[in-house]
Copies of this chain bind each other. A is one copy, B any other.
Amino acid sequence: MTSKPAANPAESGRYAFDGIDRVLHEKARLGILTSLLAHDGGLVFNELRELCVLTDGNLSRHLQTLQEAQLVEIWKGHKGRRPQTLVRLTDAGRTRFLGYLAVLESIVSGALASAKSDEATAPAERLGFTAG
């Protein structure tokens, strides 16, 4: 399991993950942003709702959060005679989301690498601890 030393001062803050912005990280918003990244011309409300399996209310609430953070833009219009809402990533939103994905990628690869290196080490002895 491990013979690694526990945390040392040089590692302080190593797992604070400052690059993880909670506005982008939240599960439903991660789905919305990923959908929009894959559909650069935007998606209408109903398409987004289906892709992300969200209720109208939940999707509206998350879109508002994303709009307030200037990550998405909301357009009102029509498809045929039907009123529709179109959602697109802003340029800033695209840049920020790509930055977030790069951070996430490095966290995941670092975590998986540390798990693999643990497998190769011998168990440590931690004495004096009792279940609580």
Q: Given the known A-B contacts A2-B40, A6-B47, are A25 and B27 also in contact in the complex, defined by CB atoms under 8 Å? A: yes
For chain A, the count of residues having a C-beta within 8 Å of the partner chain is 70
Contact (Cβ within 8 A) A11 B111? no
A50 at the interface (CB under 8 A from B): yes
- Produce 1/0 per residue, A20-54, CB < 8 A to B: 10100101001110110111111110011011110
Q: Which residues of A contact B (CB under 8 A)?
A: 1-4, 6-7, 9, 11-17, 20, 22, 25, 27, 30-32, 34-35, 37-44, 47-48, 50-53, 73-79, 84-86, 94, 98, 101, 104-105, 107-112, 114-115, 118, 121, 123-124, 126, 128-132
